[in-house]
Amino acid sequence: MHHTTRVICPVCSADHFTLKYQATYEYSYRIDGNAPGLNNTNELLPYMYDQREQKDAKQSIECKTCGTSYPCYFDKWTEGITPKMIQEAIASAYKSQQ
């Protein structure tokens, strides 16, 4: 039985990839009478938000050689994700683009 140890691009046969994760968040800051938000007492600091809500998220695996981007979704990036699983995600995205 052959085990996949390299992930191969179906377009150019290269094996150099970048996993990209793009997320959009909405940050909310409560405005009260004497300070710019509950977590900000002297100044409004962008990382001291009162509430954060994720609005959108996209993941893709991009071939560094030919630039082809393969949309995918991994809910957890752990040691349990194998090269075979990544190759299957790329193959599935490639087929859906055809």
Instruction: State mean pLDDT over 31-55.
Output: 75
CB atoms within 10 A of CB 14: 14
Q: Residue 9: is its pLDDT beyond 90?
A: yes
Query: 9: phi > 0 → left, psi -120 to 50 → alpha, else beta; which?
Result: beta
Residue 65 lies in a domain: yes
Residue 5 lies in a domain: no
Instruction: Answer whether 0.75 is exceeded by the pTM.
Output: no
Q: Residue 87: is its pLDDT beyond 60?
A: yes
Helix (H/G/I), strand (E/B), else coil: 60: strand
Q: Residue 45: is its pLDDT beyond 90?
A: no
**Count of domains forming the chain:** 1
Residue 70 lies in a domain: yes
The Cα–Cα gap between 69 and 65 comes to 11
- pLDDT band at residue 59 under the 50/70/90 scheme: very high
